[in-house]
A and B are shown apart, each in its own frame.
Chain A
């Protein structure tokens, strides 16, 4: 330690304490908003505790997990984007109207996300022009007053694109004709101007505390068929989002690619995270889901479970499901398990923890799938200060190799996207990119996060949404520069 004279030492201490107070005050502003959490806490104490866990044991203690979470990735296609423009929109002020049986009980809330990146353009999504009527326990509300108006208070939750400039956003916004927040499904055909679509028959985070039916993500397979889903809720549209029909079950994650749709579901309750995780596949637009074959995990009947689920699909039928380990109070190891499929989700095999373990435990956080069997995992050492890096695979997840580059702390811990063959993007409070497969990383000057969405249509075009959700940032040069392509008041 340095030696300083007493007076100078006192001044130095005063400086340090002042700097500490400023730093703490500044960073306290980055704390999450409390209103949603408060309601979630109140809902948690209202909810009856699970009687038994996966193994028939009584629950150890109440534990609630995030019922919706972050990383969301856009669908396949290119989106061209212009500069910052305020979207003009229609917004329905309609309220979800249950007309039949009450929704199913909430399954275990989980941390989850679905990732898909760098899908190629123009995937021939299979369209079914004559589909059986989906079972629907909810009818779309009648078209409510919808007027062209500037969207106010928009908070984008998820984005999905199916073609050049053709995209949808799941959002909440200020109601037009009454106070409070309303669900907003937004549509763009130029990547810049957004319009509201009436008919959303569900709640989203920020709307009525996301009471059932609650959806957190949105994916469109083509210009007609799309899915809005949450852990215990799923809706499907076959008319581009004008009307939605309730489907059985829900999805922790769902991705459409190469003519089919894969969803990850949790069939059990009582785990800290998702219980009895299963994978189902269906043709796009179909209401018939087929259960995929997962390898056994532990004793018969145990099934797969984890603290969180990450799901990613790569071009060419590759799919990856990461079941994150649960430290169960922090005492033990928390080994994650990666399952992979090379046949569009029909059969799966176990890979183990993708992040290489060296000495102290290394945790696997995120997946980013590219083409040609390339997939990346976001890794971090358990020991603080954490080191964030990526492990990459070029053989569809069979083997991973840790990369030497350390992701700058400001850009670590959030989202990962990209393809090690072209560009990898890591987003935390800021964005960093690597063009050498994770060996080196460079911070990007703007925008400032934290980010809740990071999605790429190809190696050049990608979008990001900050935590506030009122602006969409777009890059057209592989994450080197970003412009605010849409801003909502």
Chain B
């Protein structure tokens, strides 16, 4: 198969952003890589259609989110391999901060996939409700519902988080 030049340019330019989104969706580096790879490989035969889209990146992101939501990448959960990532090893990183971040991160993993996808697209990609709806292939109202329910679930479990740390909050229960 002859590689499309535009495809190669797109892959090299946008794989980092897609990989970050995929990582937030899957919570697993190997699964994220597989999700991105499978999404792009699957789109490649119809790449002309992608390029003709108003926003090719949004088109690909929509495919990525759909692939995730549709459970097509569940096999990736079995993987745990790490790529050779030039990650920063921050010796000053406080373990306590790590634990705090991990807490919310772990809760996020418990959300249904559509809720998690909606939250990632809304609060990480900063997509509007309309764009999030387009990415997920659903209505705006559905997106708002997904986000609302996702936040409610996270809020329910946040018994001691900063949002409720004030004395007033404690008395309000």
Taking beta carbons and an 8 Å cutoff, which residues of A are in contact with B? 1-5, 8, 11-13, 15-17, 19-38, 40-42, 44-48, 61-66, 69-71, 111, 113, 155, 157, 172, 205-206, 272, 307-308, 324-331, 334, 363, 365-366, 382, 384-385, 409-410, 413-414, 429-430, 445-448, 450-452, 466-469, 471
Contacts and interface: CB of A to CB of B under 8 A. Distances in A.
Given A1-B156, A4-B169, A28 B124 contact: yes
Those 4 A-B pairs whose CB atoms lie nearest each other, nearest first: A330-B74, A69-B81, A31-B23, A15-B163
Given A8-B172, A66-B79, A17 B123 contact: yes
A366 B78 CA distance: 10
B139 interface: no
Interface of B: 1, 3, 7-8, 11-12, 15-16, 18-24, 28-30, 32-34, 36-38, 40-42, 44, 71-75, 77-91, 93, 95, 98-99, 101-102, 104-106, 108-110, 119-120, 123-124, 151-152, 154-156, 158, 161-164, 168-169, 172-173
Nearest to B80: A413
Contacts of A70: 80-82
Contacts of A8: 168-169, 172
A21 B123 contact: yes
23 contacts: A1-B155, A3-B172, A4-B172, A8-B168, A12-B169, A20-B104, A20-B108, A24-B120, A28-B20, A29-B87, A31-B23, A31-B85, A33-B84, A42-B12, A64-B38, A64-B41, A111-B30, A307-B75, A326-B78, A329-B71, A330-B75, A450-B29, A452-B84
A430 B95 CA distance: 10
A165 B137 CA distance: 58
Contacts of B104: 19-20, 23
Nearest to A1: B156
A33 B86 contact: yes
A46 B1 contact: yes
Given A31-B23, A46-B1, A307 B169 contact: no
Dominant SS among interface residues on chain B: helix
A409 B101 CA distance: 12
Given A30-B87, A330-B75, A468-B87, A1 B169 contact: no
A410 B90 contact: no
Contact of B75 (A2, A26, A329): A329
Given A23-B108, A27-B24, 15 more contacts: A4-B169, A16-B163, A20-B108, A20-B123, A27-B105, A29-B88, A40-B37, A41-B40, A41-B41, A111-B30, A205-B84, A329-B75, A467-B84, A468-B84, A468-B85
B162 A19 contact: yes
